Amino acid sequence: MTRIALTGRARLRLAAALACATALGPTLASADVEIEYWQYVFDARVKAMDTLIDAFEAENPGITVKQVTFPYADYQTRVVAAHAAGKGPDVVQLFYGWIDNFVDGGILQPLPGDAFPASAIEAEFFPIVGAMKRNEQYYALPTAVRTMALFYNKKLFAEAGVAEPPKTLDELVEVAKKTARHDNGGNLVQAGIALDIARQDHHWWRTILTAQYGGAPYSDDGTTVTYDSEAGLKALDYYLALQTQHKVGKEGFMDEGQAAFRAGLAAMVVDGTFRLASYGTIGSFEWGVAELPAAADGTRANYASYFANGIGASASGEELEAAKKFLAYISSPAAMELWQKEVGELPARKDVAMTEANLADPVFGPFIRALDYSQTTRFVDEAAQRQIAIDMVNRALLQGQSPADSVAEAAKAEQALLDRHFAK
**Cα gap 179→157, rounded to integer Å:** 7
The secondary structure of 85-139 as a DSSP string is TT---SEEEEEGGGHHHHHHTT-EEPPPTTTS-HHHHHHHB-GGGGGGEETTEE-
User: In terms of DSSP bridges, do strands 63-70 and 33-40 run parallel, antiparallel, or are they unpaired?
Assistant: parallel
Q: Does 112 bind another protein (CB under 8 A)?
A: no
Q: Does 381 bind another protein (CB under 8 A)?
A: yes
Q: Does 104 bind another protein (CB under 8 A)?
A: yes
The smaller minimum CB distance to another protein, of residues 209 and 260, is found at 260
Q: Which of 335, 394, 409, 384 minimizes the C-alpha distance to 65? A: 335
**Cα gap 8→114, rounded to integer Å:** 51
The amino acid that residue 254 corresponds to is M
Position among 12, 43, 62, 187 found at the interface with another protein (CB under 8 A): 187
**Which stretch, 14-22, 58-66, 183-191, 293-301, contacts another protein (CB under 8 A)?**
183-191
Position among 61, 161, 185, 283 found at the interface with another protein (CB under 8 A): 185
Q: Does 101 bind another protein (CB under 8 A)?
A: yes
Burial letters 251-267, b for 16+ CB under 10 A, else e: bebbeebbebbbeebbb
Cα angle, residue 242 at apex, residues 239 and 243 outer, rounded to 5°: 110
**Which stretch, 99-107, 144-152, 209-217, 235-243, contacts another protein (CB under 8 A)?**
99-107
Q: Does 419 bind another protein (CB under 8 A)?
A: no
Q: Does 399 bind another protein (CB under 8 A)?
A: yes
Q: Does 345 bind another protein (CB under 8 A)?
A: no
The secondary structure of 273-296 as a DSSP string is GGGHHHHTT--SS-EEEEPPPBPT
Q: Does 390 bind another protein (CB under 8 A)?
A: yes
**Which stretch, 101-109, 141-149, 302-310, 332-340, contacts another protein (CB under 8 A)?**
101-109
- Torsion, CA 277, CA 278, CA 280, CA 284, rounded to 10: 180
Smallest distance from another protein to CB 390, Å:
5
Q: Does 244 bind another protein (CB under 8 A)?
A: no
Q: Does 416 bind another protein (CB under 8 A)?
A: no
Burial letters 34-56, b for 16+ CB under 10 A, else e: ebbbbbbebebbeebbeebbeeb
Q: Does 283 bind another protein (CB under 8 A)?
A: no
Q: Does 281 bind another protein (CB under 8 A)?
A: no
| Cβ–Cβ < 8 Å for 80, 107 | yes
**Which stretch, 141-149, 247-255, 324-332, 335-343, contacts another protein (CB under 8 A)?**
247-255
E strand spans, 139-224: 140-146, 148-153, 181-182, 188-194
The smaller minimum CB distance to another protein, of residues 269 and 301, is found at 269
**Which stretch, 155-163, 252-260, 290-298, 367-375, contacts another protein (CB under 8 A)?**
252-260
The smaller minimum CB distance to another protein, of residues 318 and 381, is found at 381
The smaller minimum CB distance to another protein, of residues 65 and 195, is found at 195
Q: Does 202 bind another protein (CB under 8 A)?
A: no
| Site size with another protein, rule: CB under 8 A | 35
User: In terms of DSSP bridges, do strands 181-182 and 188-194 run parallel, antiparallel, or are they unpaired?
Assistant: antiparallel
Position among 42, 151, 253, 364 found at the interface with another protein (CB under 8 A): 253
Q: Does 41 bind another protein (CB under 8 A)?
A: no
Q: Which of 310, 360, 329, 192 minimizes the C-alpha distance to 260? A: 192
Cα-based distances in Å from 192 to 15, 309, 389: 69, 38, 22
Return the SS3 of 264. Answer: coil
The smaller minimum CB distance to another protein, of residues 44 and 259, is found at 259
Smallest distance from another protein to CB 305, Å:
19
**Cα gap 318→215, rounded to integer Å:** 49
The smaller minimum CB distance to another protein, of residues 319 and 381, is found at 381
**Which stretch, 74-82, 168-176, 291-299, 344-352, contacts another protein (CB under 8 A)?**
74-82
**Cα gap 291→265, rounded to integer Å:** 21
Q: Which residues contact another protein (rule: CB under 8 A)?
A: 77, 80-81, 83-84, 101, 104-107, 183, 185, 187-189, 196, 198, 250-256, 265, 381, 383-384, 387, 390-391, 394-395, 398-399
